[in-house]
Amino acid sequence: MDHEREAAEAEPPSSGAALARPVFPTTVKERERTAAFPQSERARAFRRRHFPQASAEDWNDWRWQLRQRIRDLAGLERIFRLSADEREAVARQTGPLPVGITPYYASLFSDVDASQPLRRTHIPVGDEYLRMPGESDDPLGEDHDAAVPGLVHRYPDRVLFLTTGFCSTYCRYCTRSRMVGGGGEYTFNLAQWQRAIDYIAAHPQIRDVLLSGGDPLTIATDKLEWLLSRLRAIKHVEFLRIGTKVPLVLPQRVTRDLVRMLRRYHPLWMSLHVTHPDELTPEVAESTARLADAGIPLGSQTVLLRGINDDIDTMRRMMHALLKLRVKPYYLYQCDPITGSSHFRTPVETGLAIIRGLRGHTTGYAVPHFVIDAPGGGGKVPLLPDYVVGRDGDDLLLRNFEGQLYRYHDPALTCASA
């Protein structure tokens, strides 16, 4: 399998000189910068064991990481001792949401323990083939709200721009599993980008564009710049955002060249898809530091996953570690009812208990918003534990983080209705 060709083809095709593919890395300086990316002891040991031909420089080259992704049963079995369930599930896999794991990210997985949290998020198991009531391939109704192909216009002042169907790794609970990894009916190309740009230009109420996918940071730097520059040229677009998992699963992609390009398009914010504290390695400290140093405000988005991050201690450790990396915990999502995801989903009460365990017990900045993305396109609905107990005359009855009751004199309701 020609992984480089496959990775390149997954990006929107070039059209004209403005989108020519860069050669990477070519100059001595560029190679020095690539080699300078930190490599943890764990990653080094993994490389020597499983990729003995690869140099440190290869390992730190994000295109090498993409070319060497683990994508099939043979690739997995070369590294991991698979359970019978995993082996069968991988053998059955066809269509969208293929297996895809960068060597770097695989180095964080247990090679023997199929229950290890990160490993569970990326190696399929048989439960993935169960279809439970309430699940669907497009639970958020994004296709219904698409103004033009690849552009979801649900909220009045902002749009979701689906830039590519390619990701460096494929999460088994992906809300967009219908469209990522190829094999489906969705296509992403320059003509489609242009139609989306034209739509945004024709709608002055759109002030905020969120680029997502797939993962926009897998797009070649010059193509991504082409898109950002076209969006930035639209006067009423005030604010650009990128949703990505790349800084966590392919941190080497956050090259100084990429960051230099991104900082030209401020105000540009970034939402990082973070799953577990095990992801927060020295490499990720470097990728997030580069982005933060470029003035890009960073927020995290986490899907609540059963047996993976659904306890207070794991969440607290993760939120504290994120703050140290200058990433503000932003959203904690109830796992969407995507087809085949029931083994990942927790009761809603689990998320509420986590918020109860964080709010008041630690820094307010460390507490994300817990939300359900309402099925069918209802948008994000925030969920809070019951801190307001009720009213007693002019008093509002409140429960604090320690469970104690307090009164707040609040006659406003009575006055207003008098």
Residues labelled as active-site residues: 154-155, 158, 167, 171, 174, 176, 336, 373, 380
Toward ligand SF4, which CB reaches closer, 174 or 354? Answer: 174
Number of residues that bind ligand SF4 (CB under 6 A): 11
Beta carbon of residue 414, minimum distance to ligand SF4 (angstroms, whole number): 48
Toward ligand SF4, which CB reaches closer, 164 or 255? Answer: 164
Binding segment (CB under 6 A) for ligand SF4, from list 62-70, 151-159, 208-216, 392-400:
208-216
Binding segment (CB under 6 A) for ligand SF4, from list 109-117, 209-217, 364-372, 396-404:
209-217
Q: Does 170 bind ligand SF4 (CB under 6 A)?
A: yes
Q: Does 291 bind ligand SF4 (CB under 6 A)?
A: no
Q: Does 174 bind ligand SF4 (CB under 6 A)?
A: yes
Of residues 240-279, those binding ligand SF4 (CB under 6 A): 245, 273
x/- letters, 140..169, toward ligand SF4 (CB under 6 A): ---------------------------x--
Q: Give the neighbor-by-neighbor strand order of the sheet with 158-162.
A: 146-148, 151-152, 158-162, 208-212, 239-244, 268-273, 298-303, 327-333, 369-374, 379-382
Q: What six digits make up the tokens of 254? A: 């956050």
Beta carbon of residue 164, minimum distance to ligand SF4 (angstroms, whole number): 9
Query: What does the angle CA 343 – CA 349 – CA 354 come to, to the nearest 5 degrees?
Result: 95
Q: Does 70 bind ligand SF4 (CB under 6 A)?
A: no
Taking the C-alpha atoms of residue 245 and residue 100, their distance in angstroms, rounded to an integer, is 13
Q: Which of 202, 235, 257, 287 is nearest to 23 (CA)?
A: 257
Q: How far is CA 247 from the centre of its chain?
A: 9
Q: Does 117 bind ligand SF4 (CB under 6 A)?
A: no
Query: What does the angle CA 336 – CA 118 – CA 61 come to, to the nearest 5 degrees?
Result: 110
The owner of tokens 């193509």 is 223
Q: Does 214 bind ligand SF4 (CB under 6 A)?
A: yes
Taking the C-alpha atoms of residue 411 and residue 395, their distance in angstroms, rounded to an integer, is 7
Single-letter code of the amino acid located at 104: Y
Taking the C-alpha atoms of residue 375 and residue 381, their distance in angstroms, rounded to an integer, is 10
Toward ligand SF4, which CB reaches closer, 151 or 171? Answer: 171
Single-letter code of the amino acid located at 267: P
Taking the C-alpha atoms of residue 226 and residue 242, their distance in angstroms, rounded to an integer, is 15
Beta carbon of residue 96, minimum distance to ligand SF4 (angstroms, whole number): 10
Instruction: Give the residues lining the site for ligand SF4 (CB under 6 A).
Output: 167, 170-171, 174, 176, 180, 213-215, 245, 273
